[in-house]
Structure 1
Amino acid sequence: MERQYILNAIDAALKAGEKILSIYNDPASDFQIERKADNSPLTIADRRAHEAISDFLCSTPFPLLSEEGKHLPYAERKNWDTLWIVDPLDGTKEFIKRNGEFTVNIALVHKSVPVMGVIYLPVKKELYFAEENLGAYKLTGMVARKETSLDDLMASAVRLPEKSLHDSFVIVASRSHLTPETEAYIEEMKRCHPEVELISSGSSIKICLVAEGKADVYPRFAPTMEWDTAAGHAIARAAGIEIYQAGKEEPLLYNKEDLLNPWFIVETKHSK
């Protein structure tokens, strides 16, 4: 993939983060919470982030599948060889709780496989970006790219995964969706490993923690959509991590007829 597409996605994520923070940091804001058809919270921040991302990605030749955009029927989508899959604000519940654990997710998917990904944490100013042939990286203190080249960004970033970040077996789990099946998995891991540490986190940060080397595994036995995982999956793949369908050796696939993901486990390819 052309390197310019990574810069397009990075610029889009940073601008979306700026739009989100303008609302998040406004003490007078009530986040203008509405309800979607599935009764999940929606804020004006979602829509403004979507608009910002659309503005940056419309210059590329690829169609956009965004949580906040129009979802075209599969009869049309199935002809998309390459597409952007975007969640403008992943972790809306964390946003409303004001705990900072929300992200901007942008992925480029080619033939059902996420080949490029950008995840931005606006509150922490942390930027994860990856491309399958270039690797995965993390930058801190990012607000705007300006004229910085991709090579300079990579030179300034930490290459993922980092090594020897922990001694115990670390499981990262959802802060808002800890199901009985996940709790059972955690108990099983406690029987398999002498020392198990549990980290709770929101949004796609959980995938990033495994890709980064701060956690060993992230089990997800609760519903997610393709836009929740595509960017993190791209970053994980570039870091030598895979997202397997639970109970199978097969990775998650994208731009399916049903955009709902199966249950999955994020772990290193060599730990199977």
Structure 2
Amino acid sequence: MDKTILLTAIRAALEAGKEIMAVYTDPNSDFEIEKKADNSPLTIADRKSHAVIAKTLQETPYPLLSEEGKQIPVEERKNWNELWIVDPLDGTKEFIKRNGEFTVNIAFVQNGTPEAGVIYIPVKQELFFADCAYGAYKIGPITELPAETTLDSLMNQGQRLPYGAPRKNFVIVASRSHLTPETEAYINEMKQCHKQVETVSKGSSLKLCLIAEGEADVYPRFAPTMEWDTAAGHAIIRAAGKEVYQAGRQEPLQYNKEELLNPWFIAQ
């Protein structure tokens, strides 16, 4: 991807983070919780984040598929060989719990494969960004991009992923809100294969970030996710030399499918 376009996506994520934090830190905010069709919470922060991302990404030549704009007919998007896949606020439940484990996710997908991604953690002011041509990086604290910023300067400032130190223990990362019996069975199976097994729980796409960093070895997800939940993290994992496979198959997750629901998967 052109470096200036990836920089635009980074700027969109940072600006979205500001909108989210304005709601998150407002002592008078009740988050204006509504219900989506699937009964998951929707807050004003989702909508504000989506609006600023959509406006910023209009500067690029690619269409946008977002959780907040998911009703685009498949007949229209099936011809999109290149597109953005966005979750303006991943981890809405974590947002409402006020535990800080929520993110802004922006991915660039080409022919069904996530080639570049941006994940921003507004509370920690940490930014993950990646392109399969340039590698994966983490930088922070960061809240905005000065006008003179280039992608090269960000890469020079950031830590290249993975950077996790060698460990004796085998680390499994699991969802804080969606630990299923199948996941528990997988963890027990891994305990039979490895002497020291540690389980770490995280919300939102932070689980995928831990794999990219090298701080965890595997993330099994045997519960529903949508494409916008995983696309950005998948891109960052790929750029860090790892992969997200469909469970039980050595085939990576694919994107902009007719059905936007992901199969179960294992990131490692």
The two structures have a TM-score, normalised by structure 2, of 0.98
Q: Which runs of 4+ in 1 moved over 2 A?
A: none
CA distance in 2, matches of 1:212, 1:87: 21
* Cα deviations by residue, 1:63-95 (Å, 9 ceiling, x for unpaired): 000001252111111100100000000000000
Q: Return the alpha-carbon distance in structure 1 between the equivalents of residues 166 and 193 of structure 2.
A: 20
**CA-to-partner distance for each residue in 1:113-145, whole Å, 9 max, x for gaps?**
000000000000000000010000000101001
Alpha-carbon RMSD across the aligned residues, in angstroms, is 0.7
Task: Supply the distance in 2 between the matched residues of 1:70 and 1:41 (Cα, whole angstroms).
Answer: 16
* CA deviation after TM superposition for structure 1 residue 167, in Å: 2.5
CA distance in 1, matches of 2:27, 2:247: 42
Q: Does 1:137 align with 2:137?
A: yes
| 1:163 CA displacement | 3.8
Structure 1: which 5+ residue stretches go unaligned? 268-272
Note if contact 2:4-2:150 (Cα within 8 Å) is conserved in structure 1. Answer: no
- Contact 2:135 2:161 survives alignment (8 Å): yes
Distance 2:75 2:89 in 1: 27
Aligned partners of 1:183, 1:211: CA distance in 2, in Å? Answer: 22
Give the aligned length. 267
* 1:203-232 Cα deviation digits (max 9, x unpaired): 000000000000000000000000000000
SS in 1 for 2:105: strand
Shift in Å at residue 165 of structure 1? 5.0
Aligned residue type for 2:243: E
Give distance in 1, aligned partners of 2:224 and 2:70. 21
Distance change >3 Å, CA 42–CA 193, structure 1 → 2: same
Q: Does 1:124 align with 2:124?
A: yes
Letter in 1 for 2:238: R
Alignment-derived partner of residue 270 in structure 1: none
Indicate if the aligned counterparts of 1:117 and 1:235 stay in contact, CA closer than 8 A.
yes
SS at the partner of 2:69? coil
Q: What does residue 95 of structure 1 align with?
A: 95
Q: For residue 10 of structure 1, what is the aligned residue in structure 2? A: 10
Once residues 121 and 165 of structure 1 are traced to their aligned partners in structure 2, the CA distance between those partners, rounded to angstroms, is: 25
Deviation of the 1:27 alpha carbon:
1.0
Q: Secondary structure at the match of 2:54?
A: helix
Return the alpha-carbon distance in structure 2 between the equivalents of residues 248 and 69 of structure 1: 30
Q: Between the two proteins, what is the percent identity of the paired residues?
A: 67
Residue equivalent to 1:171: 172
Taking structure 1 as the reference length, the TM-score comes to 0.97
| Secondary structure in 1 matching 2:68 | coil
8 Å contact from structure 1 (residues 102, 121) kept in 2 = yes
**Residue 59 of structure 1, CA deviation:** 1.0
Which segments of 5 or more consecutive residues in structure 2 lack a partner in the other structure?
none
Report the equivalent of 2:182. Answer: 181
